[in-house]
Amino acid sequence: MFRPMRRNGQELEKAEALDVLKNARRGVLSVTGDDGWPYGIWLNPLFENGKIYFHGSKEGHKIDALRKDPRASFTVIDEGLKDPGGWAYTFRSVVVFGRVEFVKDQNEAIEISRRLAQRFNPSEADIEDEIRRAGPRVQVIALVPEHITGKRVHER
């Protein structure tokens, strides 16, 4: 169902790919949008318990697309390492293919949102204030991976 990596000498071991995914601060979720057009959006992920969680509004283009077709891909890239004295970077990227599930339990959605926010905001007071204001309107989705690939690329 999924293509093998063409340049398999650059392929990351599964553990390394999962590490890149776990530490990713943002990535692009791609879905099938209106009239079959691809639609990609930058999101902040939380990778835990084998799923990738995202939060956002309960309505909009992304939500409409996922209700029609739950298949999605998520792509991340690490910060990379610059060659000493040069311009090129060596970086690692990961692509995840899977299906999205909607987190229906609002209490669970709030707890996931809290853990996601803790990755980016060190202020518990700010996090709790945001949850009080926006919590009732949050929709959490979980991408359940079916295929994960990672590779190391050296720019030339």
- Identify whether the C-beta of residue 102 lies closer than 8 Å to the C-beta of residue 139: yes
Q: What is the mean pLDDT of residues 24-45?
A: 97
* pLDDT at residue 122, rounded to an integer: 81
Digit-coded pLDDT (tens) for 92-107: 999 999 999 999 999 9
The three-state secondary structure class of 124 is helix
Domains of the chain: 8-107+139-154 (2.30.110.10)
Q: What is the mean pLDDT of residues 83-93?
A: 92
Alpha-carbon gap, residue 13 to 35, rounded angstroms: 37
pTM: 0.92
* Cα–Cα distance for residue pair 145/131, rounded to 1 Å: 27
**Does the pLDDT value for residue 109 go beyond 90?**
yes
Share of the chain above pLDDT 90, in %: 85
